[in-house]
Amino acid sequence: MKRKNIAVLSLVALFMPLMCMVGLGHAGETVSITYDASNAMHAFGARDLKQALEATGNQVVGESASFRIAIAQFEPGMGPQSFRIQREGTRGVRIVAGDSVGAMYGALELAEQIGMGGGLDAVHNKARKPYILRRGLKFNIPLDARAPSYDDTGTSAHENIPVMWQWEFWQEFLDAMVRNRYNVLTLWTTHPYPGIVKLPEYPQVNYDDVHVLKQPVDEKGDRHWDKLDVFDPANTKVVKQISLDDKIAFWQKVFQYAEDHGIEIHLFHWNIYTFGAEDKYGITDNGRNEKTIAYIRYCITRFLETYPQVDGIGVAAGEHFDIPKGEREKWLWRTYGLGIMDHHKDHPDRQIGFIFRSLLSNAETIMDTFKDYDAGPFHTDHKYARARVHSTTTSPYLDFEYREGLESVKVPCWLNLRNDDLFVLRWGDPDYVREFMANVPRDLMRWEAGYFMGPDGFVQGREFVHKDPDLSGQLEVDKHWYRFMMFGRLGYDLTLTREFFEQKLEHRFPQADAKLLYETWKASSQIIPQINRFFFRINDSMFSPEGCIARQGFLTVDDSFFKHGPLEGSGILSVQEFADAVLTSKPFDGITPLEVADSLDASANQTLQGVSAMRQQTEPAPKEFLSTLRDLEAMALLGKYYANKIRGAAELAVYRTDPQRRANHQRALAHFKQAVSDWEAYARSATSQYNPQLFSRTHYLDWWKILEDVKKEAQSVQDEEDNPKKPTRQITGPNTKGLSR
């Protein structure tokens, strides 16, 4: 094996020196790093090591070094992705690993010890293996207006189409994945093949260039994913001139970089879509069209031949089928399944994983239809927390929707962690994520599978709504670095403590009180989960907490709290249950809406106090830190809005049930009027740094326009003084007989 000592290179340091350093017995050392120069993962880890060493006052040299670091290649029996850092006396450190990924993770861990600890004295022995084997991101990829993902009508999708064709973006994005210990990237699409694969048997289908919509969708229309006219090529324009050959070369480069750094690539599809091929060669989106079946089968084979780096294909039995359940699974076998098998005949040594999503199907039917699949691992998935990963650390849905089937067929199950409940404001509660990860059903993952986290209604590419030009355009994984880090790092190493995250905060923001920032950020981040538990909606288009909006627009209490109840199993009483208990003088059998509101206020007040203290302590401060504090402040004010809206709804429920109780109406009205003031304060804080934007799955997030809806709701409550609305009964939530089985 070829080995070399790292040369001194001119690199931008990722590790800033700490403001205060103590106990630096090894400061000013000359250090050699020995590693396999031909191994991209070793090289990646070695670069971060070099940066950390130089940032803490050391010099990286060749053989004549006073301190030696060796990245060793594999120790039998350690297992995939595992590493051990071991000190060798006082003058050296060795990293041994179970594979190249483990060696890279070990080097990154060592670099982190040195960088955050202030030098070589901070190095300590450590051994780790992955808590969850595969830790991924879900990325709805807006390749082209002619090849949309699930819903590309939002601002983030429209603005990010050109970004998807920037090499710099993908290198930074994939590097961030590695450092946060993500090792799976799932790209979600409908039908991208005419624009990324040569199809010699269907030459008229292929197209060059990259297109965007001539006129972006706005809030005045309902032009979402099922309104296919919006994606008509006549409605698009060129945003980037590039040949099909160059597009293929681009994605081969991206996928190769991912493979070289231990990241699997999986392509997921919704069905049936034939964008770019519609009405050519007799192809349509009809499920019984044999020409379409043959065409998509051919596309899959050609895709796998074009991109040997791709590790897997995923499919869903929806959401654009015109054939019934049972037939859909057979259609998917004849297209994607046989397309992979065709490739496998010519490449029997290549393993292609297949993930058949549980959406609109069931485990038994899936396994029966795909019983002959032998091209690689066969898995399924489940939308584990529905669309709200920031809601509860013990999601109940998999147990009553899918567990029975999974235990029967014994197929590894991936967890689809959808975070469609939070897009703009920064979030960070490591204790929540640690408990969430501790409770995931690893028995149903069966070691092989893992999780992928991401939304359907937002593209986690670059950020385009910040008013500060220095912050607009940054990667979402950089803006939300804290959240992305904890979902990746705790998925790999569940033992990471509060102290570790405080050190990360101190390293990122050395001017801040890390303990106070940790507590304040945590308090702020408890607000959205509390809101979601009180008003739990399973799908993305049903509720966006940051705007109190759904697909149809603003959510009044009649659209929300009076119609749908809290998360099942949360122990929270609905507003009707609260009213019934009040009027019958029965004890409350659960957490009342007023207690939820008080808890929201407590989190908000703690956040505002912490933000105020840090603003006084850290002047002047960098823009990122100040922007973070504004996000925490905005979240607190949003929490206060919901607290008063919930109180108002609870009092209103009592009044509507017994109109003689006018005092309850007066209290309700006071709460709704206060909610107007709360929303106005929230809007002022949010718009101090963000422009409005259209969310793909819900509606337009324009804080000042929504304020008018908030005022109308307060007026509507006032109008009930002499004409109360009749009490309504809630739509029953899911139970063991509900949703997909």
Determine the length of the chain: 741
Residue 22 confidence (pLDDT) above 50: no
Residue 628 confidence (pLDDT) above 70: yes
Q: What is the pLDDT of residue 253?
A: 99
Annotated domain spans of the chain: 4-128, 134-496, 518-531+556-692+701-719
CATH architecture for the domain at 134-496: Alpha-Beta Barrel (3.20)
Question: Is residue 438 helix, strand or coil?
Answer: helix
Which H or E element spans position 415? Answer: strand 413-417
Mean pLDDT of the chain: 93
Q: Quick one: residue 443, left, alpha or beta (phi over 0 = left, psi -120 to 50 = alpha)?
A: alpha
Residue 582 confidence (pLDDT) above 50: yes
Q: What percent of the chain has pLDDT over 90?
A: 86
Residue 739 confidence (pLDDT) above 80: no
Distances 179 to 16, 111, 264 between C-alpha atoms, Å: 16, 11, 15
Question: Is residue 573 helix, strand or coil?
Answer: coil
Least Cα distance to 699 among 472, 384, 423 occurs for 423
Hunting for tokens 């790092």 — which residue is that?
489
- For residue 725, the cross-strand partners are none
Q: Contact at 8 Å (CB) between 66 and 53? A: no
Query: Beta strands 92-97 and 126-128: pairing type?
Result: unpaired
Q: What is the pLDDT of residue 74?
A: 83
Residue 14 confidence (pLDDT) above 60: no
Q: What is the pLDDT of residues 520-578, one digit of tens each?
A: 999 999 999 999 999 999 999 999 999 999 999 999 999 999 999 999 999 999 999 99
Q: What is the pLDDT of residue 218?
A: 74
Q: How far apart are CA 301 and CA 339, in angstroms?
A: 5
Q: Mean pLDDT across the stretch 639-652?
A: 99
Q: How far apart are CA 577 and CA 571, in angstroms?
A: 12
Q: How far apart are CA 72 and CA 356, in angstroms?
A: 38
Q: How far apart are CA 675 and CA 680, in angstroms?
A: 8
Q: What is the pLDDT of residues 685-732, one digit of tens each?
A: 999 999 999 999 898 999 999 999 999 999 999 999 999 999 887 775
Superfamily of domain 4-128: Chitobiase/beta-hexosaminidase domain 2-like (3.30.379.10)
Q: What is the pLDDT of residue 96?
A: 97
Maximum CA extent, the chain: 90
Please count the other Cβ atoms lying within 10 Å of the Cβ belonging to residue 482: 21
Q: What's CA 366's distance to the chain center, in Å?
A: 27
With cut-offs at 50, 70 and 90, classify the pLDDT of residue 8.
very low
Q: Distance between terminal CA atoms of the chain?
A: 52
Q: Two tokens at 373?
A: 């699949």
Q: How far apart are CA 57 and CA 53, in angstroms?
A: 7
**Which of 175-184, 544-553, 619-628 comes out lowest in average pLDDT?**
619-628
Cα-atom radius of gyration of the chain, to the nearest Å? 27
Q: Contact at 8 Å (CB) between 485 and 431? A: no
Question: Is residue 14 helix, strand or coil?
Answer: coil
- For residue 355, the cross-strand partners are 314, 379
Residue 735 confidence (pLDDT) above 90: no
Q: Contact at 8 Å (CB) between 314 and 357? A: yes
